[in-house]
Amino acid sequence: MEKTQKIRVCPRCGSSQIREAKTSVSGWLVPKTYYCSDEECGYSGPVFVEVEADEADKFKRAINGDK
């Protein structure tokens, strides 16, 4: 049985286009920040959500509700 791939998604909009910010400050003690690439969302913060790849759509629908 294959391992299910996990992906990072935005906790606000559920987009999988979340990126880790690289801080130039010399490293440790600096909390990582994650950015959502979705322009309508614009999330940035210290957390992301990790879901299994085949559940990403479900997660996104749960966040956005029925459209």
Q: Which residues contact Zn ion (rule: CB under 5 A)?
A: 10, 12-13, 15, 36, 38, 41, 43
Nearer to Zn ion, 2 or 50 (CB): 50
Q: How far is the CB of 55 from Zn ion (least distance, A)?
A: 17
Helix (H, G, I), strand (E, B), or coil: what is residue 64? helix
- Among the listed residues 23, 25, 18, 63, the one whose alpha carbon sits nearest the alpha carbon of residue 44: 18
Look at residue 51 and give its three-state secondary structure.
strand
Complex with Zn ion: residue 12 or 19, whichever CB lies closer:
12
Nearer to Zn ion, 2 or 36 (CB): 36
| Phi and psi at residue 43, to the nearest 5° | -65, 140
